[in-house]
Amino acid sequence: METIRIRTPLDELDARKLTAGDKILLSGTIYTARDSAHKRMIEMLEEGTKLPFQLEGAVIYYAGPTPPKPGRIVGSIGPTTSYRMDPYTPTLIHKGLRGTIGKGPRNEEVAGAMAEHGAVYFAATGGVAALISKAVRSMEIIAFEDLGPEAIRKLEVEDMPLIVAQDSKGGNLYVCNKIHNLK
């Protein structure tokens, strides 16, 4: 299977070309956010407050990195179980979020929003958090520092290895009869 290189910001046409099972090397700017940060972002949207980053074309990685060892940019940065963000994700997709990265299946509301708006869900393999950290070129906290590891971080990544787990066409690696692209 060919590996596809993509960059952020991710546009709708490129996201719609991706198919469940595609191997990806992602480069560009991504953001980390977990449960507490998602809750705050939704509250900000409800209040009409500007979010700490532009959602249009953005990719959020569900991760809370560990502190870096001396001379490193980031410590271990493995994926968090994605369903915990499912209550918030459709709203963010409707506002322009184009991709999410995590582990485990997403609910039907998330899948529906992905189909409607041309978004994609990438799986980061659990257990390879140290390997994923090698793709991180820079990291800075941009919001909610009080949340510690759950603060929103801006990451610059190069060739982050991912797999398209759910695509905008209904392909889903977590549901056997919904796989379109096993090569």
CB 102 within 8 A of CB 132: no
Calpha distance 22→14 (Å, rounded): 13
Question: The tokens of 8 are what?
Answer: 């952020």
Task: Using alpha carbons, select from 80, 122, 74 the residue that is nearest to residue 98.
Answer: 122
CB 35 within 8 A of CB 85: yes
Name 9's Cβ contacts closer than 8 Å, sequence gap at least 6.
Answer: 28, 29, 54, 56, 57, 58, 98
**3-state class (DSSP) for residue 85:** helix
- Which residues are known to be catalytic? 38
